[in-house]
Structure 1
């Protein structure tokens, strides 16, 4: 499993001493994030992916972490990882490592539409589901990953972003809430979750429930194509937001619908304001410790040491593979969760940097 990896990358054994910043990291914080994964691991073993590590081996280490309890100090936490895992540098066959940042938006919202809050965030329409390997997709675009199933089991394409914005699902998809602008809704779609501030002061969390299944297109690429920015590094989330908001309404709509992928949401409680939403791996995201990875290559819950030189300073931290995303493709590709709200956005929006990733593989026994 480790040697093959679909020729996407090779894993090179290294020592913990070879990892810049390893000794300076807060291993207790990393251990806390791993224990959150451990709760899920012991309930449901993750599927082993191309680069590994083995899901069953992670389950064993998760049980050990739970046995140690919550009050584990930095020294003991570091000893846990060094004793029970071996570090392997991820070296992609083509290209180099790259890291971005994501966050959970926190915005004002309403449960009913108004002139000030006209843009809906939708729940999935009935019958929308992932396309399985055994499904008949003869009448579907090969690029589709989700589709609408009728009462006879037949699949049809879900409307894309442009069609949905034009009303194709009106009366078929329930609005969960309404926000102020299409740009605000778009960024919530990109992040896959949000905290919504309601007039009575309550917080409502919405999280990913389904998607249209159409291919994802990075709208920030339009800024490069049109000469708004001169490099991909300049096409940050805050630059994209400012550019979109400065466009005329029809130009803005034309830019947004280039990304045909559309995200649908479900309501969820805000149990712990310090944590993010429950992610694809089934655990709540931990700011600075949860990493989105390519789920076809990296097994969920695996510890990954990330090295990058961000605008805010050097980033050398042990993280947990707990989420994924449409734009996260490749063996040395990661997306760092920075938290919720405007402060987290300010951090995440500037991250588009070269990075190195080291996968921690469970030792035998």
Structure 2
């Protein structure tokens, strides 16, 4: 999933992945069929079910039993250094509802990081284990490492949020729905610049190349811009026969032009005081003649592919860069040169939007997600008034990260 953080003053360009930034990022004990069926009945564990019974539950140790003895050496990553710590050093360890993260973990096990396949086999039956059993297994099988700068210094980390917008759309253009969402045009080449956003709106050659490529049409061009920045979204779409259904549009490609923040453009002109989407929309309503000027300040355009949204798909977010569906509140976008995809991570943050210490999974990336202690939390999906958007829009606060790596 390719996305930008909800911080609309960001000027970094997104990187391509299987996906926003979002996203951009899916998924036993007991014996025989009875234990398997019990897991399937529990809605939150639905994705952990397969066509047969799970293996017996892995043995667990007493919590805290492995928090002694010598620590292993530090691990050097491309953009970070991992320094080993004891479990007792993780703030809030033992207080998280680990079962809420287990689905995200099992979804990550669909495409496990190298060396994790065996651990995934052990993790599956633990989906219905007790919190103490889950915690004891993690402590026994993983070593926590504090993620710091490559030179060993402690950075002031940054946590932001992203989400999957839900927008009304029409399959055909109309007087009210005039902003298209396009599939990739023929001749588009990765890494090579194509027509800019302004070119697409004004040049006949660009418009000819996109003829017949419109997936759907939106009423608000800023909503289209938001969808492109998030990298994925859901459309409540009206078909030509009047039927309505919900589909997902996911990142397919971009036009190879640099990303520029329209929020930054407005701030630099003194047009707004804060780079929020509410402020940007208000300015656009008040300055309709300058709307295109603002939109064209960002030359990048994103192209989408349409995906069927099944009942099961609707319970998770879009696929992130790891190639697995994202789990609200438990999937994060990271810099893969600092933390590999699929890594379980202990996250600690305190601020006006969120005060949490919890287990999350590194399952996505984004153009603004660069450096050692940098993460974007996938908050879910919804419209302008829904909690997912509200949290993603407000989240910009200090961050600490600990990577959990197999012993």
Find the aligned partners of 1:256 and 1:172 in 2 and give their Cα distance.
21
| Aligned: 1:60 with 2:99 | no
> Cα deviations across residues 313-354 of structure 1 (Å, max 9, x unaligned)?
402221111111122122211111111102111111111112
Map of 1:20-169 to 2, 5 A cutoff?
A: 20-41=91-112, 55-66=113-124, 68=125, 70-92=127-149, 96-130=156-190, 146-147=191-192, 157-167=193-203, 169=206
1:285 aligns with 326
Larger-Rg structure = 2
Question: Residues 126 and 134 of structure 2 are in contact (CA less than 8 Å); yes or no, is this contact kept in structure 1?
Answer: no
Map of 1:101-250 to 2, 5 A cutoff?
A: 101-130=161-190, 146-147=191-192, 157-167=193-203, 169-173=206-210, 174-199=213-238, 200-227=243-270, 234-243=274-283, 245-250=284-289
Q: Residue 316 of structure 1 is aligned with which of 353, 357, 360?
A: 357
Q: Aligned-residue CA RMSD in angstroms?
A: 2.3
Q: Check 1:88–1:227 CA distance in 2 against 1; reply closer, same or farther (3 A cut).
A: farther
Find the aligned partners of 2:303 and 2:214 in 1 and give their Cα distance.
10
Alpha-carbon deviation of 1:307? 1.5
Secondary structure (helix, strand or coil) at the match of 2:338 reads coil
Q: Residue 326 of structure 1 is aligned with which of 364, 367, 378?
A: 367
Question: Residues 316 and 326 of structure 2 are in contact (CA less than 8 Å); yes or no, is this contact kept in structure 1?
Answer: yes
Q: Check 1:23–1:112 CA distance in 2 against 1; reply closer, same or farther (3 A cut).
A: same
Question: Residues 21 and 316 of structure 1 are in contact (CA less than 8 Å); yes or no, is this contact kept in structure 2?
Answer: yes
Secondary structure (helix, strand or coil) at the match of 2:109 reads helix
Find the aligned partners of 2:129 and 2:275 in 1 and give their Cα distance.
41
Secondary structure (helix, strand or coil) at the match of 1:285 reads coil
Alpha-carbon deviation of 1:88? 1.2
Find the aligned partners of 1:294 and 1:250 in 2 and give their Cα distance.
39
Question: Residues 236 and 352 of structure 1 are in contact (CA less than 8 Å); yes or no, is this contact kept in structure 2?
Answer: no
Alpha-carbon deviation of 1:27? 0.7
Question: Residues 205 and 268 of structure 1 are in contact (CA less than 8 Å); yes or no, is this contact kept in structure 2?
Answer: yes
Find the aligned partners of 2:91 and 2:279 in 1 and give their Cα distance.
31
> Cα deviations across residues 47-74 of structure 1 (Å, max 9, x unaligned)?
xxxxxxxx322333223223x2642332
Alpha-carbon deviation of 1:110? 0.5
List gaps (5 residues or longer) in structure 2.
Answer: 1-72
List gaps (5 residues or longer) in structure 1.
Answer: 42-54, 131-145, 148-156
Question: Residues 31 and 77 of structure 1 are in contact (CA less than 8 Å); yes or no, is this contact kept in structure 2?
Answer: no
Question: Residues 195 and 205 of structure 1 are in contact (CA less than 8 Å); yes or no, is this contact kept in structure 2?
Answer: yes
2:406 aligns with 362
